[in-house]
Amino acid sequence: MDADAVHFQTLPTPEERAVAAGVTDRLTADGVEPRRHWTHTLHHIDDLPTPVSGIDDTFTPFKRAVEADSPVREPFGVPALPARPAVDGGPDELPPVQALGVDPVPTDDRGVLPFEGGETRALERLEAYVWERDRLREYKETRNGLVGADYSSKLSPWLNRGCLSPRRVYEAVQRYETERVANDSTYWLLFELRWRDFFQFQFRKHGAAFFAPGGIRERDDVDWRDGGAAFDRWKAGETGVPFIDANMRELNATGYVSNRGRQNAASYLANDLRVDWRLGAAYFETQLVDYDPCSNYGNWAYIAGVGNDSRDRSFDVVGQARRYDGDAAYAKRWCPELDPLPPQYAHEPWTMSEAEQREYGVELGVDYPEPVLDPTASGGR
């Protein structure tokens, strides 16, 4: 290989570390210097107040410590690079995915954003969300939304693909606080980026222990079920609980789903159906456009009660549907067969009498599934 050195990002999870080790071995054998870099967090790993092994396993002490004692570095400027070499004498352009034998993914008009890759699109989204549409000032109030581009930043795919640095987001928030407003919402976006950091450092600390059924808490009191029919119905958005089905259908159709939706879908699988939470996390891994091993498995473990919090994290999914989707617009958007129903029945179709099913033209078991689990079994908050 005609190169002096290869620079690459390092991630903290075991599979990604194994890949990096393989690349390192191969480069070294070829006489090329491997240069790994920690690149992707808001707080650099070398700037943490304690070594990673000393980080608290709960978020709040971590957040307080980094807020007090870990200054965020400035983003790098644009590097001066030589022109990209032409590919085989052809035009100086990246080939489209079709040329690589990959079918383009069909888009769904109901999706929150098209999510085109690359730094240019990432910076456009940051600019649009923060400055043009001025949505940062109310982020904390809107972030539990379910429909539309602007209830949250939607920066996660670009952050996780390396198109956008969290430090660049931090810089934008700081400038916004100086030029427009500093409030709970501006703070909260950084608060969420610190959750992202927290999971990165937790995986660096605990490694493979996160992927055991009982997680880092080493719980052995839960009898996790294998996949089976209930898991298949959950994946397909056919559980018979509209709020869960809508979220799973959005995920399947677009690769994105809100944080509120992810929490409920994960809780339903892990805490109600009691299917092994790792199967759910692995399914998310195959679908999410913003998939990141630490954020995904860390959040799943947290909700399944085997991660970074000892509190019961199970959700009352019907209560959540009523609270966050009062008019059932979200449920009906992704389960249009429920459109004729008033909101209460659109969230709890199993409470309709047979006469009501006939009246509205929505027959359970025909037009929309019967619930996979007794609906009164959904617990928690």
Ligand X SMILES: Cc1cc2nc3c(=O)[nH]c(=O)nc-3n(C[C@H](O)[C@H](O)[C@H](O)COP(=O)(O)OP(=O)(O)OC[C@H]3O[C@@H](n4cnc5c(N)ncnc54)[C@H](O)[C@@H]3O)c2cc1C
Binding site for ligand X (CB under 6 A): 143, 152-156, 159-160, 189, 192-193, 195-196, 199, 258-259, 262-263, 266, 284, 288, 290-292, 295-296, 299-300, 303
- Residue 309 C-beta: closest distance to ligand X, Å: 12
In the complex with ligand X, which residue's Cβ is closer, 287 or 367? 287
Rounded to the nearest angstrom, the gap between the alpha carbon of residue 61 and the centroid of all alpha carbons in its chain is: 23
Query: E strands along 136-248, which residues?
Result: none
- Under DSSP, is residue 33 helix (H, G, I), strand (E, B) or coil? strand
Q: How far is CA 258 from CA 146, 265, 290, 325, 360, in A?
A: 6, 10, 11, 13, 30
- Residue 46 C-beta: closest distance to ligand X, Å: 21
Q: What is the DSSP string of 259-309?
A: HHHHHHHHHIIIIIS-B-HHHHHHHHHHH-TT--HHHHHHHHHHHHTSSS-
- Count of C-beta atoms within a 10 Å radius of residue 38: 14
- Residue 258 C-beta: closest distance to ligand X, Å: 6
Q: Which residues of 90-122 are buried (b: 16+ CB within 10 A; e: fewer)?
A: eeeeeeeeeeeeeeeeeeeeeebbebeeeeebb
In the complex with ligand X, which residue's Cβ is closer, 13 or 24? 13
In the complex with ligand X, which residue's Cβ is closer, 156 or 254? 156
- Residue 54 C-beta: closest distance to ligand X, Å: 21
- Count of C-beta atoms within a 10 Å radius of residue 1: 9
The single-letter DSSP state of residue 42 is S
User: Hey, which residues does 36 pair with through a beta bridge?
Assistant: 8
- Residue 157 C-beta: closest distance to ligand X, Å: 8
Alpha helices in 180-226 (DSSP H): 184-206
C-alpha atoms less than 13 angstroms from C-alpha of 64 in its C-beta half-sphere: 5
In the complex with ligand X, which residue's Cβ is closer, 112 or 352? 112
d(CA 235, CA 125): 30
In the complex with ligand X, which residue's Cβ is closer, 72 or 341? 72
In the complex with ligand X, which residue's Cβ is closer, 283 or 345? 283
- Under DSSP, is residue 166 helix (H, G, I), strand (E, B) or coil? helix
In the complex with ligand X, which residue's Cβ is closer, 70 or 267? 267
In the complex with ligand X, which residue's Cβ is closer, 245 or 292? 292
- Residue 286 C-beta: closest distance to ligand X, Å: 11
Q: Which amino acid would we find at residue 135?
A: R
User: Hey, which residues does 288 pair with through a beta bridge?
Assistant: none
Q: Are 276 and 224 in contact (CB under 8 A)?
A: yes
- Residue 297 C-beta: closest distance to ligand X, Å: 8
In the complex with ligand X, which residue's Cβ is closer, 203 or 368? 203
d(CA 262, CA 268): 10
In the complex with ligand X, which residue's Cβ is closer, 156 or 357? 156
217: exposed, middle or buried (Cβ count in 10 Å: 0-12, 13-18, 19+):
middle
- Residue 129 C-beta: closest distance to ligand X, Å: 8
- Residue 255 C-beta: closest distance to ligand X, Å: 11
Q: Are 298 and 202 in contact (CB under 8 A)?
A: yes
- Residue 288 C-beta: closest distance to ligand X, Å: 5
